[in-house]
Chain A
Amino acid sequence: MERFKVGDTVKVRIDSPSGHYRTPIYIQGMTGVIESVCGRFKNPEKLAYGHDGYPLETLYTVEFIQRDLWPDYTGNIADKLLIDIYEHWLNTINEG
């Protein structure tokens, strides 16, 4: 069962574990909204070491306001960035 649903506000975990992970630094620590639930997939952090990738991890498309991400962003104030992020990289707002 996925932890978040469409419309939930989430905050991206700040971390730089050794090995391979798919959460770029520019999005870490930022607050966004769940745009869609993509499904459950093998965990690339485990696949990266030749493991089977289980347990499956829920992947979400999360939307962020571009102006929140880039202080000198000059595009439309409504512009958004959509990025796919795995569940273990997302916290609730209260979790910080």
Chain B
Amino acid sequence: MLAVDGVISDMGAIMRGVHDRGGLPDDTPINREEHEMMDWELRVDAMHAVLGNKGLRSTDQMRRVIESIPKDQYEQMTYYERWAFALETLVTENELLSAEEIDQKMSDIVGN
């Protein structure tokens, strides 16, 4: 039996994860053009690497957080916005930083 999104099977309702795109109909060709990474994207990438090297986040943890982003937000976010969201979630889960500390730092930066 083919598993179809939302169809109730004998094993329960099947819920397609927002990231689980295999087999979805789409006539839009994949954009294969390279593009320059923006400065903030490079910083997110660097934070991702540092936290990984220090054992403070793993790929599976990143995936779990990104795959839990509500569909409407997920579709609006760019690749590195999802990474930034996941890193913030994980460092607050780990209690490395609090949401208040991150918000305070963000407003300091914006204020300058």
Task: Using A25-B3, A29-B9 as known contacts, say yes or no to A14 and B61 having CB atoms under 8 A apart.
Answer: no
Q: CB within 8 A of B14: which of A27, A28, A96?
A: A28
Mask of B27-60 contacts with A, CB within 8 angstroms, 1/0: 0000000000000000000000000000000101
Q: Which residues of B contact A28 (CB under 8 A)?
A: 3, 14
Given A20-B63, A20-B64, A48-B63, answer yes or no on A14-B14 (Cβ-Cβ < 8 Å): yes
Number of interface residues of A (CB under 8 A): 23
Secondary structure class of chain B's binding surface, majority of residues: loop
Distance (whole angstroms) from the CB of A90 to the closest CB of chain B:
14
A50 within 8 A of B: yes
Measured CB to CB, the residues of B under 8 A from A are 1-3, 5, 9-17, 20, 22-23, 58, 60-61, 63-64, 67-68, 93-94
- Excluding A29-B9, A50-B61, 5 further A-B contacts by CB distance (< 8 Å) are A14-B3, A16-B15, A25-B16, A30-B2, A49-B64
